Structure 1
Amino acid sequence: MASKLLMATIFILDLIAFSLAVAAEQRRSTATIKQDNEKDYNYCVYDSDIATGFGVGAFLFLMASQAIIMLASKCFCCGNPLKPGGSRACAVLLFIICWVFFLIAEACLLAGSVRNAYHTKYRTIFGGEDPPSCETVRKGVFAAGAAFVFFTAIVSEFYYVSFSNAKASFEPYGGEAAVGMAVYK
């Protein structure tokens, strides 16, 4: 039987990670082009950088959630063998899917946080034809991270339940390894 305390802990960590990723998408940096007082050059002015902190927080909470679920299941490959059957097959499939979603979510959150923290220092001289390139994180990067955090949360919960069901009643064969023979008369 799956531990309800562990599942509640994982759910709370994933919920916090999802909320932080959504907040990061809402508060990502934007930039405006300003002119200096002497009107010699243009430069970029960025608003608050709080989305970087939200993205890093979501990254860390999701990582903690994944670490706890993998420690509880002994990363699927260590520990006692699992009972053959549908629960084991489902656990293997969900284990792989869980890691794929986790890696995509972490990549989106990390890339979005790094890109959001980068503020260009580029300036253009007055009379220059091109305005400065005020680069910011693309819209939807943190939202994609939030979506994959959500998928990871669902799949990891199902993975742990399937793993627990496959582990619950399996007892390895403890009998004789040789073939039993009847008495010949």
Structure 2
Amino acid sequence: MFGKLEHELEMHVPASEVWDLFGTLRIGQFVEQEMTELFQKVELIEGDGGVGTVLKLTFAPGIPGPTSYKEKFTKIDNEKRIKEVEVVEGGYLEHGFTLYRVTFHVIEKGEDSSALKSTIEYEVKEEDAANASLVSIEPVANIAQLAKNYFSRNKAAKEAKQ
């Protein structure tokens, strides 16, 4: 069984700023700092932020489901501003999923405007099809909203200094 969920959020900053966060290792640090209610720790296991980089995400105590998983950067296209990350160990793979991929696509809308399109694609074995209900776009939508708030705070701080 294959599924796909999407979310898009306008960002009121240039696409280059959004990509500097989502296209690099900074997103792991950002998630660890800003989403403490969901994630306890985000660790760099191997790599330098390029394709092949592996991160281990450990959930905060009390979060239902797996306690952690490892994800690998499988595609980074700096020109098109697309990054794909796949779960390679633990997490959804322990619940019958054969694929769990998150794609972030930063879309330029104008000089000071962009959008972040987040997509989750998954494949789950037929005998575990009921587990598809575990997939939610909400965590990536929350990351996008926290990033938008972060960019707004930074923009306001810069304007206040001028």
Q: Which has the higher contact order (CA 8 A, sep 6+)?
A: 1
Q: Same fold (TM over 0.5)?
A: no
Bigger fraction of residues in helix: 1
The structure with more radius of gyration = 1
- The TM-score, its normalising length taken from structure 2, stands at 0.31
